Amino acid sequence: MKTEILNIDKQSLNKAKNIILSSGLVAFATETVYGLGANALDESAVGSIFIAKGRPQDNPLIVHIGKKEDIFNIVESLNEKAEKLMDKFMPGPITIILKKKDTIPNNVTAGLSNVAVRMPLHEGARAFINECGVPIAAPSANTSKRPSPTDAQSVLEDMDGKIPLILDGGPCEVGIESTVIDLTREVPTILRPGIITKEEIEKVVGKVDVVLSVKDNEKVASPGVKYTHYAPNCEMVMVENNVVEKTKELYDSYNKQGKKPVILCYEETSVKYKGNNIYILGKDDIEASKNFYTDLRKLEKIYDVIIAEAPKKESVGESLYNRMIKSASHKVY
Ligand code: TXA
Ligand code: MG
């Protein structure tokens, strides 16, 4: 199959709609990362998402809507907290979990009775969903375990020959995936952190819990969190303590082993690594989040080891920390 990349216009949207309505897959830009979309009401189309990504069947998908009222085709009902969060943050980089309607096929939710719903801020994404006229089930458009794609070329890298169309909506503004929050529990619970933080959500609905990591054999709340994730094709480590000293030490030691290392660092500390291979992640956590996945895909092609400076575990930095530690397969210094 030939994979086309098209800018978003009337013609390409029409093409995308025809593909979706005949059970095909279309990758599309959102403000967070690119999604790999299928008609969420079409069980066999949804099945082919899992095949194209090599995604485990027990990891449920997010259903994307283009208009707020479309949520009533997906969930049984809204509770008060859901209404408040939708008013405040939708469209935007947040995904809410509620009890699903029977019309949503079981493979969308991996057999769970709850469904995740998101309305993207990216206008091209909403134009695509609205053009199709059906809810769009979409995970990130990467091969399972790879860094999520934040531009059309990164999608092509993983999906070339597997899907007919990528709608190119430019580079993603946010760069890491949406905040996922379960609203079926007594206390709303964040299952995946994102750029919309716990503190911001608490201002709207009061107390919020966070349940992120799980032990391998425990029953998992958000099945996606148990897998290796976001990993580049080269070795990667993350440095959290004594950062500059430890980073230099690791760099020298990899060099001695005959490996080609690179330091992925913040602008502020970059001057400390003069003479070494460095790559600047950004000036702050917002910029770093935007660049992170694309940087991994760039650096894996040039270097043997990425030594990354850990973000501070607070506010937006916390969600980047959560991705980075997985990219580094939990190798933290
Ligand atoms: O920003 C995003 O959320 C992107 C864009 C494309 O919208 N999508 C995305 O999808 O990141 P994916 O499939 O890569 O991650 C979805 C996460 C997984 O951790 C999954 O386990 C969790 O959401 N999830 C989905 N449905 C769920 C459900 N019913 N209950 C609990 N967790 C759920
Ligand atoms: Mg993903």
| 257-311 pLDDT, tens digit each | 999 999 999 999 999 999 999 999 999 999 999 999 999 999 999 999 999 999 9
Q: What is the percent of the chain with per-residue pLDDT over 70, rounded to a whole number?
A: 95
Pocket of ligand 1, beta carbon within 6 A: 30, 32-33, 35, 59-62, 95, 97, 109, 112, 114-116, 118, 138-140, 177-178, 180, 191-192, 222-225
In this predicted structure, the answer to whether residue 216 has a pLDDT above a threshold of 50 is: no
CA 147 to chain centre: 9
The answer to whether 138 and 53 have CB atoms below 8 angstroms apart is no
What per-residue confidence (pLDDT) applies to 315? Answer: 87
Across all residues in the chain, what is the average pLDDT? 94
Given pLDDT bands bounded at 50, 70 and 90, which one contains residue 212? confident
What number does the ligand 1 atom closest to the CA of 109 have? Answer: 29
What per-residue confidence (pLDDT) applies to 213? Answer: 58
The answer to whether 205 and 85 have CB atoms below 8 angstroms apart is yes
In this predicted structure, the answer to whether residue 98 has a pLDDT above a threshold of 50 is: yes
Atom 13 of ligand 1, residue of closest alpha carbon: 139
In this predicted structure, the answer to whether residue 59 has a pLDDT above a threshold of 80 is: yes
What tokens were used for 291?
């660049």
Point out the ligand nearest to the CA of residue 139.
1
Q: Ligand 1 pocket: which of 26, 113, 173, 180 to mutate (most atoms <8 Å of CB)?
A: 180
Q: Ligand 1 pocket: which of 114, 177, 190, 212 to mutate (most atoms <8 Å of CB)?
A: 177
CA 111 to chain centre: 21
Using the mean position of ligand 1's atoms as its centre, give its distance from the Cα of residue 62 in Å: 5
What per-residue confidence (pLDDT) applies to 54? Answer: 95
Using the mean position of ligand 1's atoms as its centre, give its distance from the Cα of residue 84 in Å: 21
Given pLDDT bands bounded at 50, 70 and 90, which one contains residue 237? very high
The answer to whether 174 and 195 have CB atoms below 8 angstroms apart is yes
What per-residue confidence (pLDDT) applies to 182? Answer: 98
In this predicted structure, the answer to whether residue 214 has a pLDDT above a threshold of 80 is: no
Point out the ligand nearest to the CA of residue 138.
1
User: How many whole angstroms separate alpha carbon 176 and alpha carbon 93?
Assistant: 9
pLDDT digits (tens, 9 = 90+) for 25-53: 999 999 999 999 999 999 999 999 999 99
Residue type, 7: N
- Tokens 């005959």 locate to 258
pLDDT digits (tens, 9 = 90+) for 156-177: 999 999 999 999 999 999 999 9
Burial of 257 per CB tally in 10 Å (0-12, 13-18, 19+):
exposed
What pTM, to 2 d.p., does this model score? 0.95
What per-residue confidence (pLDDT) applies to 217? Answer: 35
What number does the ligand 1 atom closest to the CA of 100 have? Answer: 29
User: How many whole angstroms separate alpha carbon 2 and alpha carbon 14?
Assistant: 18
For residues 19-29, average pLDDT: 98
User: How many whole angstroms separate alpha carbon 45 and alpha carbon 77?
Assistant: 26
For residues 318-324, average pLDDT: 95
Spatial neighbors of 116 by CB under 8 A, at least 6 apart, are: 60, 61, 62, 63, 95, 96, 97, 109, 180
